[in-house]
Amino acid sequence: MSSDNKNYLAGKEILDEQIHIGVKKGAGQYLLQSVINGCMAGAFLSLGAFAALVASHGISDYGIAKLVNAAVFPIGLMLIIICGAELFTSNTLLIQARLEKQITTKIYILNLIVIYFTNAIGALSIAALIYGAGIMHNDSNTIGGYILHLAEIKMNYSFIQCLCSGIMCNILVCCAAWGASAARDIAGKILVIWFAIMAFILGGYEHCVANMFYFSAALLAKNSPDLLAAGHLTPEMADTINLHGVIHNLLPVTLGNIIGGALFIGVAYWVVYFRGYKK
């Protein structure tokens, strides 16, 4: 089924496409495929996040730095959707296939668990490669220092800050995935992804997989006195960059991402289009 304008799908058609994607991801592939796709997505997102960080870290003006970061960061999700990979946050949309009874609750939950941890493997791998390559020491150690500074701030957010920020983040990420399904050509997909993800970065919202990369890189970087000095971190501040800080952030951010994607976008659009069209 296609809409009159061949350049995009209409709302009900997008839902049908998302359900098809959900069945394919949830029940139509082997575990090894999910593992590889999850690792690739974590790596792609991390490469985009690091590129954005490098592009913006030396800009003193807050607004301009945010804009540059937001313009580059979407590369990661573009690669995930266009090249084919599975990201935890966008996979929360598989709830639509579950609501249509095309996959089971068990398959939905298992997919999210597998993709979550394989995204983490991909993010950690890129962080380790960047650290091993010595790139954090570029620009007089300021790249690594900025990563440490960013991680220290994120690990000290409150539970409610992380939860609310996570919800808003995945509303936009899932809008990007939903809109990309509507576009019938690569240019259309890129534009939808770019602007939706720009809004997420400009808002400063929290994304669990992006944070997996930032935290992995920071835990490695804190072993270097030069990077700690470049980040202007006191010993007390550096001590907060630890596994407890990782969990303190990722737990509410992940919960918020699930609520934002599965409930605010997944369930909401299923109700709008499924109930609105099937009378």
What digits encode the pLDDT tens for the residues 17-64? Answer: 999 999 989 877 889 999 999 999 999 999 999 999 999 999 999 999
Domain span at residue 264 reads: 11-277
Bigger pLDDT: 254 or 277?
Answer: 254
89 CB-side CA count, 13 A: 35
Structure tokens at 269: 């659009």
For residue 5, is it within any domain? Answer: no
For residue 84, is it within any domain? Answer: yes
CA-closest candidate to residue 26, choices 125, 137, 119, 108: 108
- The H or E element containing residue 217 is helix 208-221
Residue 241's region, left for phi above 0, alpha for psi from -120 to 50, else beta, is beta
For residue 4, is it within any domain? Answer: no
Domain of 41, CATH number, reads: 1.20.1080.10
For residue 1, is it within any domain? Answer: no
pLDDT digits (tens, 9 = 90+) for 185-243: 999 999 999 999 999 999 999 999 999 999 999 999 999 999 999 999 988 899 999 99
For residue 173, is it within any domain? Answer: yes
Q: What is the band of 1 on the pLDDT scale with cuts at 50, 70, 90?
A: very low
Please answer whether residues 142 and 58 qualify as being in contact, where contact means their C-beta atoms are separated by less than 8 angstroms: yes
Amino acid at 105: T
pLDDT digits (tens, 9 = 90+) for 81-94: 999 999 999 999 99
For residue 6, is it within any domain? Answer: no
For residue 230, is it within any domain? Answer: yes
Structural domain count, the chain: 1
